[in-house]
Each structure stands twice: as structure tokens, then as C-alpha cells.
Amino acid sequence: MKEIVVISGKGGTGKTVVTSALAYSLGRDCVLADCDVDAADMHLIFQPQSQTEEDFYSGEEPEVDPERCVQCGLCVEKCRFHAITMDADSVRIDPFACEGCGLCSRVCPESAISMIPRYTGKSYQSAIRIGTTMVHARLLPGGENSGKLVAHTKKIARKLAEEQYKPYVLVDGSPGIGCPVISSLSGADYVLLVTESTQSAFHDLKRVYELVHKFRIPAGCVINKHDLNPGLTSEIETYLVEMQIPLLARIAYDENVLEAVRHGRTINEYDPGTYHEIIEQIKHEMKI
Amino acid sequence: MKIAFASGKGGTGKTTLSVNFALYLSRDHDVLLTDFDVEEPDSHLFIQGDLLKQIQCNTDIPQVDETLCNGCGKCREVCNFHAITQLGKHTMVFPQLCHSCYACIEFCPQGALKMVPEELGMLSEYDEGGLRFLEARLKIGKEMAVPLIRQASDYIDRHHADRLIIIDAPPGTSCPVVETMRYSDFVVLVTEPTPFGLHDLTLAVETVRLLDRPFGVVINKDDGKHNDVVKYCEDESIDILARIPHQRTIAELYSRGLTLYDKNPDFYRQITILKNNLKSRRVL
């Protein structure tokens, strides 16, 4: 079983559009995992037919027992995240500032602070129309630990793929290069980079590839909206050659892509005349 | 006043709006533009300013003094992030997992741990004809954006408290965005009239409401045909502050790293509307 992770650095370059089209092409051969957990959109294309959900807890958060608290202020003083404030008659914890280190609970001389599991989101397994399962998640707004939820989502997807003898796990990643992206790269066999012909996307591609390179994962690249700026597309292609990253396909700027999304369809499903060949080419060129 | 341009979905136009709005306002305001999308900072591509200052940002990571450590394991026990482990009597730190909470330091009975700085990223300050620009850039391989955003916020409070602050926020709805919104006085949510744009806008609205910040919406790439976002905003009583038309020419200018407010009249008209809407709400 091989795990393919689709990332881009910059958001909005077409990760979800490309991932969903590849999933449509792979059909029963893949388990799909939407790991863009704080803005998961894949379910808009593959409207789940049935769904199981579970609550996801990650890390801990402090809870103050007002009966025991004597307002000594030690927790306020020790907290590095300025997450605790104290007024005349209570100690308050700001859940958005708290990182869950538990230092307050450990230093409290009255044992007035206990650490409880932190509810950070939901995890789903859904049957989708292409004859497979999509594993996805929903981080609570402002949720901490998105990397943990990514790892959890990938773990379920891998387990399902093993149980059902699926050759591929296909992962739609997050934008950026931080914790959720690093988490999505862990254990990946191949990275599909989706970029577009804009200065921003090219800049972000270089940063995210540097990260992929640190992990020594083989990668290939799709250039989306390649006709937006042909000169820049040539620059991107030169960079790909220098870095020895295979160019898998170019996709033109096309209003029809949005129409496919509006109809809840993948691009190769909505407009096979234009996209069937391109997606098959990406699959073939990945050589995995 | 601090105004953040945020969005749930990436690629909706946060950078386009924040850079152009900051340049536009800097003609008659003292403005600082800052890029808090520390993982993938792109604002600098549109700013040709002179570099004034660069400051390395660090996080504190525990270091073990082998001569004092007796391998008791207390540090490992109190670390909620599993950043410390032990092989026999040997104590090891995984810096990527450390949140710099100091619990290990606090509880080490031998005083064998001390915090040492490790590079997290870089702050760079530029001047472009009166507009100040502060970029915060995370070092590649570092997981945590939030501490760098905090350090950038502190820097702005120390050096530029008197300026109007325009913030280019990271995408998503998780901790880096929360940190950015918490620092802001007003949030402009940039969206586009697509199913992804609308869905992620609803998540961003939940987040900004949870943080109790005043906000409004700018619809970017507006084709005038798909009104789901407008309908959602009406249903939720959310103000639409501007509607940037969907034009391939705008996408092409952006692709070349060029500013729009001085080149595209439709865009200019819309950011003027945005400014007036913010003025009438006393944000400006």
C-alpha cells in the first residue's frame, strides 16, 4: 500500500480539485483522506452517502475547582502563555491562549487545578459514490493540535486500506509548511505538489519542497492555471528540472473547474473530454 | 487600530486585499502592513521596499547538563508534549515538540536543565515610501507558527503602536489564525463565491464570533451570478464591505506579483468602498 500526499504550500492552488479527480480515477483502489482538517472541503465534492462519526480528544485543558482555589496567583505567575488571569474572586483560563502544558496544575499548592481531556474536533468515515471510503475530520474553530487530528485521520485511512487490500491512500493536505503539513508528510510514499502560475504559488512551492526534501520523499508537480503567466510557468519548469522534480501535467485556467465544484463533481467526471486524459497522465507519470 | 484580512480557505485573496489596501491607505495614513502567514509569507512579493532591520526570533528549548542530570525522569514525566524521552539514564530533548512551557525546568530536582534559544524564524522590516512592512517568516522544518506570530505582535506593540496596522492572516481556522484574530481589533473575511469559499467562510465566521471580534466580509472574484455567499451574509446579518469583480486581468496582474489598486479601476473603486465602509463603522 502506497500513501500519496497532495500539498501546495499556498492555499487555493487546486489541491482538492486535483486530489478529488485522482480519487475518482482510482475509485475502489484508494482510501481517500481529507487532512486539511481546519478547512476540509472534499465532502462538498463527494457528498457522503453514509457516515460514522466520533469525537476527537487531543491534549488536555485545565479546570479550576473554585472550592479549593485560594487565589494565591502562583499559576498566573508560572503560565508562560499568559492564559490565566485572576480577579477579586476567581481564576480564569483563556482556552485560546492555553497550550495544555499542565504546569499550572502541577504547581498549584492547593491541587485546585485538574487537567481534563480537550475536545478538539470530530473524525468521520464516509461511504462515497466512487465505491470507497473517505476519512475526514472537522477541527473545532480555533482548535489546537491540528497535526494530531491529521495523524489520526491518516492512521484510520491506512488501517482501512490495509484491511480492504486497497493499493493507495490518497491524502489531501493543508496549506503551509507547519504542524499539519509536517504531520501529513510523516509516512508518505509520494508527494504530489500542486502549484499555479503565480509568483506567490511559486515562492510557496519552493518553501514546501524544501520541507519535502528534508523528509526525502519522492515528489512530482502539477502546474495549474499554467497559461495565466506563461513566462513564469517556464521559470517554474526550469526550477523543477533543477530540483529533479518530474512535471506530471499542466492544467489551463478554466472556469469549468468551478462549475464542476458547484455541481459537486470532480473535473474528470464533469468534463471528461478535457480532464480524463490529464488525470490519467498524472497517475501514469507518478510511477507508483 | 489593527485590521486583519483572514479567510478559512486559502487563495481567496487575503494577500491581494491586505497589500493593496495598505498601500492605498498609506497615501494619507501612517500604516504598517504585516504578514502573519508565517509559514508561507507572500506579501513581500508585492512590496519593493528598503530593508531597515532584520531580527532573528528564537524559542527556548531545554538543554540537559549531563554532569548534573541523574536520569530521574521527572522532566519526561511533567512534559505534556512528549518532547523529552529517556534512554536508560540518558535524557533526550526533541525540540520540534517542545512548547517552551518550562515545566521541565520547574521540576528538575537537580537543576540540570536550562533553556537555550533555538532559531524559529525571522522578522524583517521594510520601508516603501512611508509604508512600513513587517514580515514574519518561519524557518523551514519548524512546526509552530504561533510563537512567531506572538513575537511579531510584541514587536509591533513596542515599535509601531501609533500606526494603523494591516495584517495578512494565515489561512484556516486553527491556532495561527486564532492568534492573529486575537491580536486584531477588526477582521475582514475574504471569500469567493464558490462552494469551497462559502463553506470555509462559515468556519471562519464561527471562529471570529467565538473570539468576539467585529468583522465584515469582502467577496473576491465576484462574478455577479452566484449569490450563495451574499445570501448567507444576509441570513447571518453580516456586512458585505466590498465586492471585487472576477476578472482574468486581475488574476494575471496578481500572477506577476503586481499591485492592483493603481492599475485596475474596478479594483480601485472597490477598495475605496471598503475604506468608506470601514470609516462609517469607525474602524478607520
pLDDT of B204-230, one tens digit each? 999 999 999 999 999 999 999 999 999
Rounded to whole angstroms, the maximal C-alpha distance in chain A is 72
CA distance B51 to B138: 18
Q: Break chain A down into helix, strand, coil percent, rounded to 5.
A: 40, 25, 35
Q: Check B203 against A38: CB less than 8 A apart.
A: yes
- Least Cα distance to A20 among A205, A222, A225, A268 occurs for A268
Strand partners, B55: B123
CA distance A64 to A114: 7
b/e sequence B9-18, b meaning 16+ C-beta within 10 Å = bbbbbbbbbb
Q: Check A210 against B140: CB less than 8 A apart.
A: yes
Chain B residues lying within 8 Å of A199, measured CB to CB: 42, 45, 255-257
**pLDDT cut 90: percent of chain B above it:** 96
**What average pLDDT score do residues A216-238 get?**
97
Q: Check B172 against A38: CB less than 8 A apart.
A: yes
- ipTM value, please give it: 0.94
Q: Considering the entire predicted model, what is its pTM? A: 0.95
Q: Is the pLDDT of residue A145 over 80?
A: no
Q: Tens of pLDDT along B55-82?
A: 999 999 999 999 999 999 999 999 999 9
Quote the pLDDT of residue A50.
81
Quote the pLDDT of residue A88.
83
Q: Is the pLDDT of residue B40 over 90?
A: yes
Quote the pLDDT of residue A252.
97
Task: Tell the burial category of A88 from Cβ atoms under 10 Å away from its Cβ (0-12, 13-18, 19+).
Answer: exposed
- Least Cα distance to A171 among A155, B204, A179 occurs for A155
Chain A closest-CA separation from residue B280 CA (Å) = 29
Categorize the per-residue pLDDT at B48 as very low, low, confident or very high, splitting at 50, 70 and 90: confident
Q: How much is the mean pLDDT over chain B?
A: 96
A13 secondary structure, DSSP code: S
Q: Tens of pLDDT along B160-204?
A: 999 999 999 999 999 999 999 999 999 999 999 999 999 999 999
Query: How far is residue B139 from each of residues A7, A183, B37, measured CA to CA in Å?
Result: 18, 16, 12
What is the bridge-based pairing of β-strands A190-196 and A2-7? parallel
Q: Is the pLDDT of residue A288 over 90?
A: no
Quote the pLDDT of residue A51.
87
Quote the pLDDT of residue B96.
87
Q: Which of residues 253-282 of B touch A (CB under 8 A)?
A: 254-257
